[in-house]
Amino acid sequence: MPAQRSPRQSLTFEYRLAQEAINLRLQANGMPAGVRRAELLRKARQIDVAGELNKWLTSPGLLPPS
């Protein structure tokens, strides 16, 4: 019998990235200005960029290198 996938795994990669960025921003909003807050916001921006890169890399219009 094949293993069942958990509901979390059925979510798309982009959705999971977006959720993580939202969670990081929510954590940062509850903190005073400082190094930890800046790190959380930086990580959220990095995740946003990763999502955009993934969209670009998986787009049907992307041509292979020649």
The answer, yes or no, to whether residue 36 has pLDDT greater than 70, is yes
Rounded to an integer, what distance in angstroms lies between the CA atom of residue 7 and that of residue 15? 13
Rounded to an integer, what distance in angstroms lies between the CA atom of residue 44 and that of residue 23? 9
Q: Could you please report the per-residue DSSP string of 17-54?
A: HHHHHHHHHHHHHTS-SSHHHHHHHHHHHHHHHHHHHH
**Average pLDDT, integer, range 18-45:** 95
| pLDDT for position 8 | 52
- pTM for the predicted model, two decimal places: 0.73
pLDDT tens-digit readout, 38-54: 999 999 999 999 998 88
Rounded to an integer, what distance in angstroms lies between the CA atom of residue 19 and that of residue 46? 13
| pLDDT for position 58 | 86
Percent of the chain with pLDDT over 70: 79
